[in-house]
Amino acid sequence: MTLLEFAISNLRRRAARSGLTMSAIALGIAAVVALTSIAWGFEASWQKANDARGTDLIVTRVASENTMPTPFREERVRQVLAAMPHVHEVVGLLSEMLTVSEDAPPVFVFGWVYGSYLWDHLKLQQGHWPREPMEDGVVIGSIAAETLHKKVGDFIEIEGKRFAVIGLFESSAVVENGALIMTLDQAQLITDKPGKVNVLNIKLDTTASEAEVQAIKERVKRELPGYVAITSGELVRKNAVVRISKAMSNATILIAGLVGALVVFNTMLMSINERTKEIGILLALGWQRATVMKLVFSEAVVLSLLGGAAGILVGIGIAWGLEHVELMRGKIDPVFSVPFCFAVLGLSVLLGICGGIYPALKAARMQPSAALRYE
Amino acid sequence: MTRMLVLAGLMLVACQVDAAGLNGAEAAEKMRQARLSDGFEARMDVLVTLPDGAHPAPLKLSVIGQMTRERQRVLVRGIAPASVKDRYIVAERVTGGSVRAWRYDAKLKPQAVSPMEGIFGSSLAVWDFFTPWWGWHKQEMLGAGKVRGHDCDKIRSQADQPADKVQYVESCIDSKTGVAFETRQYDARHVLQRESSVVALIRKESGGQAAKKSRVKDGSGKVSAIDVYAGDEEYQVTAETFAVLDRLSADQ
């Protein structure tokens, strides 16, 4: 019998306790997996939306940290930006989270400049795109259509104004699939923000180098005080919701780590105490102290490895379930990757090792004579 | 003895300050300053609960305001439901501090209404938007308070005009951020006319804080839960925005 088989057989001898310990580790790891994947997914989804549109730089107000940056009058800023080298197109975007149905949670309503490049990446499934800047129509993302139970030809009331659903689209970004899009002119009209946008999207020509992009950023800082030009990734990382969700995910990792290590510690310590005599016999039979330590560590690592694996599966299940809850549909897009799963499994094993250190040392330090007399 | 009384009196006055070391008048001035704006817009959901527990259809309102030292005016527009859609209440604060208000829509000519009247059947009144009590002369600090976990300073504002319906207002404020966590309006017989409290805050672009969610209860027991879901701190007030008010002022 190998040491690993011996360790597994020890765990199986106390099946109920081993099961409970693994469950506790699994729950902690599941919370880590679900929250981290959602936090990363939230960030990735917004970045994907910006990247898919083909935006190279985003100009916004310096202090903007909310989900959608504070609106500003775009005309002067747009003119300054349009005159900069390599700037191919500057288009405004206005967005708000609005309740458009009493039976459904609020959805993002975007206003995009009619005919601009922002529309190019969307795939029209049914209907048509707006045909003029002031058309009283919205195109609806596939998830929003399901959530709001709307199809092409239906009507939606947004901020007291009736809009026809003129098209249904699919995007590679889940935040856009959960949104309604109308022309910027209409969005400004219904939100009473004439001439205002949340952000200006800049599309550069293909010849712009990294250094030239950096030069544009510097020029915006100099020529447009109060505004900043950043990449979509920088904008998303500044976002308060992204920062809060990441902080929550980090806090969960910390708490789950502590709880997991304590659970393993407690289980292994109890197991060592109960098996004092057995360990004494092993030592008396000539087992090295290092072998006893390896045995205890093996048991702790097997426990945490199995708990971690189960936790990853449960975490993926929780995130998947949340993604399909009506309130969250179209707003979260959990991100899982093989390296992430291995990292979480590594964390789990680390918990096992941390929790097993003291019990392993205690077992290895036993005097066989004292252990054999232990009642 | 007289000297001791004067000293005791001075000590008492010294105690009548808020956490920032301000006396009543200074704290009230801070609150007034925090409300100054060349233009703002806030859109809000208002869920009304009647004294019998019934809920009328939720209101969706847009409030545009201009609060400068020279001019203070507010325009409320009904967005939903259909019964209030595109109905307006416009109000201004006139010299002397009183507030006057009118109601109108596309068909209805402006009709004078009480600024204390609930907006579209809610317990929210346009009078409250002007917070006129911060301009009253008598302001008295009452000590420290706590509302929903927020430390604040209690202040009593006494009306200048003895005939006014609201005779004094007790608030619990944070003069640094300009937030009144709780406000209670009383008449001359100490009967509570309306009380409001802040449930959740939002950080403004300017760095200050404002109420995101609040609750207003009137004397009849009607409660309005207000949720500001969108807004613009730098709303561009145009000649058109308060054109009706300008016409009414010119007529008078």
Q: Which of A190, A93, A100 is nearest to A144 (CA)?
A: A100
Is 80 exceeded by the pLDDT of residue A263?
yes
Within a domain: residue A235?
A: no
Question: Searching chain A, which residue's CA lies closest to the CA of residue B228?
Answer: A98
Within a domain: residue A61?
A: yes
Of A178, A205, A230, the residue that ends a domain is: A230
Within a domain: residue B152?
A: yes
Within a domain: residue B10?
A: no
Residue A159 is nearest to which of B58, B79, B233, comparing CB atoms?
A: B79
Q: Strand A137-141 relative to strand A161-170: parallel, antiparallel, unpaired?
A: parallel
B209 touches chain A (CB under 8 A): no
Distance CA A118, CA A171 (A): 12
B55 touches chain A (CB under 8 A): no
Name the pLDDT band for B231 (thresholds 50, 70, 90): confident
Please tell me the predicted confidence (pLDDT) of residue A154.
95
B229 touches chain A (CB under 8 A): yes
Distance CA A335, CA A318 (A): 13
Name the pLDDT band for B246 (thresholds 50, 70, 90): confident
Both A151 and A272 in one domain: the answer is no
Q: Test A71 with B232 for CB contact under 8 angstroms.
A: yes
B106 touches chain A (CB under 8 A): no
Q: Test A159 with B43 for CB contact under 8 angstroms.
A: yes
Q: Which of A47, A35, A19, A30 is nearest to A233 (CA)?
A: A47
Cβ neighbours of B236 in A, within 8 Å? 73, 194-195
How many CB pairs (< 8 A) connect A and B? 41
Q: Which of A313, A343, A341, A329 is nearest to A45 (CA)?
A: A329
What is the nearest CA distance from A16 to chain B, expressed in angstroms? 44
Task: Count CB atoms within 10 A of the CB of residue A258.
Answer: 13
Both A212 and A246 in one domain: the answer is no
The percent of residues in chain B predicted with pLDDT above 70, rounded, is 90
Tokens 């390296």 label which residue? A339
Cβ neighbours of B233 in A, within 8 Å? 70
B81 touches chain A (CB under 8 A): no
Tokens at residue A21, please? Answer: 């310990």
Both A203 and A71 in one domain: the answer is yes
Interface of A with B in 189-248 (CB under 8 A): 191-196
Distance CA B216, CA B225 (A): 7
Among the listed ranges A177-186, B166-175, B205-214, which one has the minimum average pLDDT value? B205-214
Task: Count CB atoms within 10 A of the CB of residue A54.
Answer: 15
Distance CA A307, CA A257 (A): 13
Chain B interface disruption, residue of A70, A74, A107, most B CBs within 10 A: A70
Distance CA A122, CA A179 (A): 12
Both A79 and A170 in one domain: the answer is yes
Name the pLDDT band for A64 (thresholds 50, 70, 90): low
A40 touches chain B (CB under 8 A): no
**pLDDT tens column, A124-157:** 999 999 999 999 999 999 999 988 999 999 999 9
Question: Searching chain B, which residue's CA lies closest to the CA of residue A102?
Answer: B58
B79 touches chain A (CB under 8 A): yes
Within a domain: residue A299?
A: yes
Output the CA–CA distances (angstroms, integers) from residue A144 to A107, A167, A252, in the order listed. 7, 12, 31
Output the CA–CA distances (angstroms, integers) from residue B122 to A208, B178, B196, in the order listed. 57, 25, 13
Q: Is B11 helix (H, G, I), strand (E, B) or coil?
A: helix
Q: Which of A124, A114, A122 is nearest to A94 (CA)?
A: A114
Both A294 and A222 in one domain: the answer is no
Is 90 exceeded by the pLDDT of residue A235?
no
- The residue-averaged pLDDT of A29-52 equals 81
Cβ neighbours of B86 in A, within 8 Å? 160
Q: Are A46 and A179 in contact (CB under 8 A)?
A: no
Question: Searching chain B, which residue's CA lies closest to the CA of residue A161?
Answer: B79
Distance CA A226, CA B60 (A): 32
Question: Searching chain A, which residue's CA lies closest to the CA of residue B57?
Answer: A102
For the stretch A221-253, what's the b/e string if a residue is b when 16 or more beta carbons lie within 10 angstroms of its beta carbon?
eeebeebbbbbbeebbebbeebeebbeebeebb
Q: Are A20 and A162 in contact (CB under 8 A)?
A: no
State the total domains in chain B.
Answer: 1
Within a domain: residue A52?
A: no
Within a domain: residue A280?
A: yes
Of A230, A252, A271, the residue that ends a domain is: A230
Query: For every residue of chain A, which 3-state class applies, written as one string?
Result: CCHHHHHHHHHHHCHHHHHHHHHHHHHHHHHHHHHHHHHHHHHHHHHHHHHHCCCCEEEEECCCCCCCCCCEECHHHHHHHHCCCCEEEEEEEEEEEECCCCCCCCEEEEEECCCCHHHCCCEEEEECCCCCCCCCEEEEEHHHHHHHCCCCCCEEEECCEEEEEEEEEECCCHHHHCEEEEEHHHHHHHCCCCCEECEEEEEECCCCCHHHHHHHHHHHHHHCCCEEEECHHHHHHHCHHHHHHHHHHHHHHHHHHHHHHHHHHHHHHHHHHHCHHHHHHHHHCCCCHHHHHHHHHHHHHHHHHHHHHHHHHHHHHHHHHHHCCCCCCCCCCCCCCHHHHHHHHHHHHHHHHHHHHHHHHHHHCCCHHHHHHCC
Give residue A367's domain range: 3-46+242-373
Mean pLDDT (chain A, rounded): 86
Q: Test A192 with B45 for CB contact under 8 angstroms.
A: no
Within a domain: residue B4?
A: no
Give residue B126's domain range: 21-251
Tokens at residue A225, please? Answer: 């005080």
Within a domain: residue A67?
A: yes
Strand partners, B141: B155
Is 60 exceeded by the pLDDT of residue A158?
yes
Please tell me the predicted confidence (pLDDT) of residue A51.
78
Please tell me the predicted confidence (pLDDT) of residue A365.
85
A99 touches chain B (CB under 8 A): yes
Both A29 and A66 in one domain: the answer is no
A110 touches chain B (CB under 8 A): no
Cβ neighbours of B62 in A, within 8 Å? 192
Q: Test B86 with A72 for CB contact under 8 angstroms.
A: no
Radius of gyration (Cα) for chain B, nearest Å?
19
Within a domain: residue B120?
A: yes
**pLDDT tens column, B64-92:** 999 998 899 999 999 989 899 989 999 99
Is 60 exceeded by the pLDDT of residue A100?
yes
Q: Test A159 with B60 for CB contact under 8 angstroms.
A: yes
Task: Count CB atoms within 10 A of the CB of residue B5.
Answer: 9
**pLDDT tens column, B109-124:** 899 999 999 999 999 9
- The residue-averaged pLDDT of A193-207 equals 91
Both A264 and A324 in one domain: the answer is yes
* Cα distance from N-terminal residue to C-terminal residue, chain B: 59
Distance of alpha carbon B56 from its chain centroid, rounded? 23
Q: Is B149 helix (H, G, I), strand (E, B) or coil?
A: coil
Chain A interface disruption, residue of B75, B84, B201, B236, most A CBs within 10 A: B236
Distance CA A52, CA B224 (A): 43
Cβ neighbours of A159 in B, within 8 Å? 43, 60, 79
Question: Searching chain A, which residue's CA lies closest to the CA of residue B230?
Answer: A96
Count of residues for chain B? 252
Both A209 and A291 in one domain: the answer is no
Maximum pairwise Cα distance, chain B:
72
Tokens at residue B203, please? Answer: 């950080």
Both A94 and A129 in one domain: the answer is yes
The torsion of the CA quartet B52, B56, B59, B65, rounded to 10 degrees, works out to -40
Q: Which of A254, A252, A274, A272 is nearest to A264 (CA)?
A: A272
Among the listed ranges A201-215, A226-240, A289-303, which one has the minimum average pLDDT value? A226-240
Name the pLDDT band for A59 (thresholds 50, 70, 90): very high
**pLDDT tens column, B17-70:** 565 678 889 999 999 998 899 999 999 999 999 999 999 999 999 999 999 988
Q: Test A192 with B235 for CB contact under 8 angstroms.
A: yes
B64 touches chain A (CB under 8 A): yes
A323 touches chain B (CB under 8 A): no
Is 90 exceeded by the pLDDT of residue A364?
no
Cβ neighbours of B41 in A, within 8 Å? 192-193
Tokens 């006014």 label which residue? B164
Distance CA B161, CA A229 (A): 54
Of A199, A230, A261, the residue that ends a domain is: A230
Please tell me the predicted confidence (pLDDT) of residue B20.
62
Please tell me the predicted confidence (pLDDT) of residue A358.
87
Please tell me the predicted confidence (pLDDT) of residue B19.
59
Residue A160 is nearest to which of B80, B205, B229, comparing CB atoms?
A: B80
Within a domain: residue A236?
A: no
Cβ neighbours of A192 in B, within 8 Å? 41, 62, 64, 232, 235
- The residue-averaged pLDDT of A177-190 equals 94
Distance CA A315, CA A311 (A): 6
Name the pLDDT band for B206 (thresholds 50, 70, 90): low
Mean pLDDT (chain B, rounded): 87
Question: Searching chain B, which residue's CA lies closest to the CA of residue A195?
Answer: B236
Q: Strand A179-183 relative to strand A107-112: parallel, antiparallel, unpaired?
A: parallel
CATH of the domain at B176: 2.50.20.10
B151 touches chain A (CB under 8 A): no
Which phi and psi angles does A203 have, rounded to 5°? -105, 120
Tokens at residue A81, please? Answer: 């930006």
Both A109 and A204 in one domain: the answer is yes
Both A300 and A219 in one domain: the answer is no
Is 80 exceeded by the pLDDT of residue A309?
yes
Distance CA A130, CA A56 (A): 25
Tokens at residue B184, please? Answer: 């209670």
Both A138 and A255 in one domain: the answer is no
Is 80 exceeded by the pLDDT of residue A373?
no
Is 50 exceeded by the pLDDT of residue A18?
yes
Q: Test A72 with B234 for CB contact under 8 angstroms.
A: yes
Radius of gyration (Cα) for chain A, nearest Å?
29
A106 touches chain B (CB under 8 A): yes
